[in-house]
Structure 1
Amino acid sequence: MAECRFQLAALQITFLCEMGTQRDVRCSLMALPDTLTTAYDEIYKRIETQKGSAPQLAINAFRWIQCSYEPLRTETLLDAITVELDGSGGVLHYPVQANDLLKACQGFIILDERLDVFRFAHLSVEEYLETQLVKFNSHVEILKVCLLLLCASSWGEYDETLETRQADYNARHLLLYSVVFSPWHFAQCEDKDNCQAVTGLWNTFVSGSNYQRWANYHQRCVQVDRHSRDIFWCRTHAVRQAGDDTLSSVCVFGYNGGSLTSPSPRRRLFYPDYFSTRLVLEMWK
């Protein structure tokens, strides 16, 4: 594939530009990676061996970019990879700058300023990371963040009046993403029964006042086009019709590990040319 050859050539040039002397460049010419996989293996090892929190920031970002149902705007992704809960159950934010994340990811992601999102530098990067990061584990980690936030004693600085609708990712903070899409991530966790962290958080979420608070926020701030052809958003509309009935929500979303058969809206947005033919679409079914 021509694009992959250009991507490999670009990576080889990047490796050479990192050399300090002409002698180093000449020596490196004999050891350049000759396949994309080899080049990506080398970059991934660099990411894993960075000091401090950089490796975890990078892995967190890869998980969110890879598995979010709709993209997260730049500010929301930076929040998602660092948010924690304090000892009293409140939300803590540890600010990280976009350039810090780009540095930690070693060229695997870029900042698309037109769309206001981080995305993978090339489709082949996403395909490579699918061999390194199991999607089930990624959905589990994302779901843990969503449920921790939904079960927090206070939602702190998040604007609880903000509304959202399908594809309105550029006006959506992390709390609102969690309110809308946590059911979808839960449905992707195939082995939920053996994941104690998820099971415990889910039990906390559906008990007490947490579920009612979620249902109220969902009814108030999530706007749905009832004519949408997107399966998830059709289910979201059905949940709004069901009101605050926990059992109805569980039945509507079908928490059975099933996933949507068509490419996610995120992939269609980032790689429109790749998904322009029926043949390629069939590959993802």
Structure 2
Amino acid sequence: MKNISLVIATLFISGLSFGQKLVVYREKFKIGFQDSSGNVIVPAKYSFVERFSEGLAAVCLKDKWGFVNQAGKEIIPLKYDNVWSFSDGLARVGKKGRYGFIDVTGKTIIPLKYSNALRFSNGFTQVERNGKWGIINLAGKVVAPLKYDNIGVSGFYNGFALVEKNGKWGCIDTTGKEVIPVRYNDIAYFEEGFAAVKIGEKWGFIDQTGKVVIAPKYDEAFFFDNGLALVKLGKDSSSDVRYGFIDKTGAVVVPIIYDEAKVISINVNGLYPEGACAWLRLGNKKIFIDKNGTEIK
């Protein structure tokens, strides 16, 4: 949980109507909530408070955590050692080093039996017990058995989760089936049907059947976006590191000669030329390219 260090901080509260805001205020080293007119909604009596999520905010008093609603009522008692905010209708809670999940009424939905657990997202979350990780759904049903050494932090993304066992990586689907064998030195999430994989010391790409579609020959490979993927030749410890772009056939679209490169996912406030999907630098010259790999003049 993040400690509150601001004396006054504006919080945009999900679930409040008409764009209403609440502000955190501090009084005699305690924290509460006021509305935008200065009316006290939650008295300043807590050591820490968190942002409202799904109508509830986590609060802490005397090292115990619980939740208040937007009227300031403590509807989930302050009895937990730590909590996370609500997502997908459930919040992770912990006692004596064990974690489970409660709903917005405070009812325990998933018993506090795990050594670690993450936040639910799109109906799933990662849990750990006895040093092994798996995935459960909102009902607490184990979707992927707790047998992995690690699971990608994003959980399921585009229908796949990254899993690691004995230093090798693969993918499972939302049923827990290992659809990409756990045999790669590293792996990235699928984008546009392809995933970058590390075989030995080199990176290439596989499709969703696990077929190698672009041979591993790069020192680093990134995700596909608009049909192009950024690739790198040369180690970071070397002075001869070069970047360029390939297409889904493996053909080099932008020569791998550039000193630096970056994919542009969002053009905030028109910072980059219209239509730019990446920039590259060679010496003192920087260029922008469009989704076809063509330089924008």
Q: Is this a same-fold pair by TM over 0.5?
A: no
- Structure number with the bigger relative contact order (C-alpha 8 A, sep ≥ 6) is 1
Which is strand-richer, 1 or 2?
2
- Which interval holds the TM-score relative to the shorter structure? under 0.3
Larger Rg: 2
What TM-score do you get using the length of structure 2 for normalisation?
Answer: 0.27
Q: Could you tell me the TM-score, scaled by structure 1's length?
A: 0.27
User: Hey, which of these two has a bigger chunk of helix by percent?
Assistant: 1
